[in-house]
């Protein structure tokens, strides 16, 4: 019995990206977000402290203070809607706070250059600097409202 106790190992995933509060609500019945209902692959909403960006265009100057470590990305991938923290895991593991920027199918870190494949629905790193994906966030759809929080 004692052997079983010592042989157990903690297999809980721990992201290099620190856990910061996330609470973002996107009402797809309002403004530019109406077009986000169509679920066109590659469309995305970025939520940063200075506001919302829809497909790289600034849309709303909301003061969002619960948008994670590097900002929140809601991306339409092959899976439908996915949500991630835009903080780069590689940089975070080195103690550097860096935000990824969406470049087509990838979230790309301006600091280290690592690219994360968000179009596939996995956010897996592509350059091999790290094996860790972007931190996945919880996304709940209720009607035309998306609510994003920490998992």
Single pTM value for the model: 0.87
Residue 56 and residue 102 in contact, taking contact as beta carbons nearer than 8 Å: yes
Torsion angles phi and psi, residue 96, rounded to 5: -110, 130
Residue 73 and residue 106 in contact, taking contact as beta carbons nearer than 8 Å: no
Q: What is the pLDDT of residue 2?
A: 52
Q: How far apart are CA 97 and CA 17, in angstroms?
A: 9
Q: How far apart are CA 132 and CA 94, in angstroms?
A: 13
Q: Residue 6 has what DSSP assignment?
A: H
Phi-psi region of 148 (alpha: psi -120 to 50; beta: other; left: phi over 0): beta
Q: What parts of the chain have a pLDDT lower than 70?
A: 1-13, 61-64
Q: What is the pLDDT of residue 7?
A: 52
Q: What is the pLDDT of residue 11?
A: 47
CA distances from 26 to 21, 36, 50 (A): 16, 10, 15
Under CATH, which number does the domain 17-149 receive? 2.102.10.10
**High-pLDDT (> 90) share of the chain, %:** 73
Q: What is the pLDDT of residue 50?
A: 83
For the chain, the domains span 17-149
Q: What is the pLDDT of residue 31?
A: 84
């Amino acid at each position: 019995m004692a052997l079983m106790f010592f042989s157990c190992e903690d297999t809980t995933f721990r992201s290099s990206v620190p856990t910061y509060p996330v609470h973002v609500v996107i009402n797809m019945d309002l403004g530019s977000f109406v077009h986000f209902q169509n679920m066109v692959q590659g469309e995305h909403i970025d939520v940063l402290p200075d506001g919302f960006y829809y497909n790289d265009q600034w849309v709303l100057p909301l003061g969002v203070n619960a948008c994670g470590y590097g900002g929140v990305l809601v991306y339409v991938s092959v899976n439908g809607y996915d949500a991630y923290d835009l903080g780069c895991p590689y940089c975070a593991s080195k103690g550097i706070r860096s935000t990824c920027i969406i470049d087509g199918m990838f979230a790309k870190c301006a600091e280290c250059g690592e690219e994360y494949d968000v179009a596939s629905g996995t956010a897996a790193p592509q350059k091999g600097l790290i094996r860790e994906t972007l931190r996945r966030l919880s996304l709940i759809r209720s009607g035309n409202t998306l609510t994003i929080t920490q998992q």
